[in-house]
Amino acid sequence: MSVVLTSIEGAVATVTVNRPEALNAINTDVLNALEQAFAEVEANPQVRAGVLTGAGTKAFVAGADIKAMQAFGAEEARAFSAHGHRVFALMEQSRLVWIAAVEGFCLGGGCELAMAADWINASAKSKFGQPEVNLGLIPGFGGTIRLVRRVGQAKALELCATAEMVRGEEALRIGLANALYEPGEVLVKTQEQAALIASKGSLAVANAKRVIRAGADLPAERGNAFEQQAFGIQFGTADGQEGMAAFVEKRRAGFTGK
């Protein structure tokens, strides 16, 4: 049985961590399979948006596989962390918008995986947290960095230092989640949102993602200059010309990704 499943419906790819018997815990096999899945989806021109989820209703991903990590020394732990960082960053660097659909537990490495997506849609019964200090550890897959950028430094430190879990409603309030749905609905709703994104100009979506992500780390003046350049680039695309022509002619645009 594959530990990661990929399905494509229309222009939307859904990647599922598939270890429900272990609450979808992350180990080296999962990281390798995610790396392959992300690469295959990225290379597929049919796909224009991605959804990331976990198998079953109990957990998105309940964390890293503690039994597997128990035997690590310091260097093995550093290498495992580096592997996770490399794989998770593939979503951030992707031309696609990736949305995490979270049902159930989303803890430790699972929370870090979800935060590597462009945003998170959550079930009302989902539970988020970075409980590593309970094990005498700290987050190792980007949690200390991405959590700060989502919820601010003080709240990120509170969550990491107390190891307390927050439910979906609180995750929405603090900005960790973008949307909240009833249990059992989050995956379908997220796939519908991904299909909406996939119907837009794919080059424009990719360019908007690139500018927003890069601009977040730039001074305002440089960020604005970056946006101006990217704005101009879109006018040289077939999609840009088609979108404007369709608007003027009052018809639906036929985007081709060119």
**Tens-digit pLDDT string for the chain (258 aa):** 899 999 999 999 999 999 999 999 999 999 999 999 999 999 999 999 999 999 999 999 999 999 989 999 999 999 999 999 999 999 999 999 999 999 999 999 999 999 999 999 999 999 999 999 999 999 999 999 999 999 999 999 999 999 999 999 999 999 999 999 999 999 999 999 999 999 999 999 999 999 999 888 889 999 899 899 999 999 999 999 989 898 999 999 989 888
- What is the model's pLDDT at position 48? 97
Environment class of residue 148 by beta-carbon count within 10 Å: exposed (0-12), middle (13-18) or buried (19+)?
Answer: middle
How distant, in Å, are the alpha carbons of 5, 7, 178, 179 from that of 102?
Answer: 16, 17, 11, 10
What predicted TM-score, i.e. pTM, was given to this entire model? 0.95
Neighbours of 199 (CB within 10 A): 15
- What is the model's pLDDT at position 85? 98
- What is the model's pLDDT at position 217? 86
Q: Are 128 and 171 in contact (CB under 8 A)?
A: yes
**How far, in Å, CA of 246 to CA of 53, rounded?**
35
Phi-psi region of 127 (alpha: psi -120 to 50; beta: other; left: phi over 0): beta
Phi, psi of 64 (to 5 degrees): -80, 160
Q: Which SS3 state, helix, strand or coil, does residue 8 take?
A: strand
**How far, in Å, CA of 222 to CA of 205, rounded?**
21
Catalytic annotation, residues: 112, 132
Domains of the chain: 4-198 (3.90.226.10), 202-248 (1.10.12)
Q: Which SS3 state, helix, strand or coil, does residue 47 take?
A: coil
- Residue tagged 């190792």 (tokens): 140
**How far, in Å, CA of 130 to CA of 187, rounded?**
23
- What is the model's pLDDT at position 209? 92
Sheet of 127-129, strands arranged across: 59-61, 105-107, 127-129, 166-167
- What is the model's pLDDT at position 258? 87
Q: Are 14 and 7 in contact (CB under 8 A)?
A: yes
> For the CA atoms of the chain, what is the radius of gyration?
19
Neighbours of 141 (CB within 10 A): 27
User: Which structure tokens are listed for 253?
Assistant: 């645009």
Pseudo-torsion of CA 134, 137, 139, 141, nearest 10°? -130
**How far, in Å, CA of 48 to CA of 6, rounded?**
14
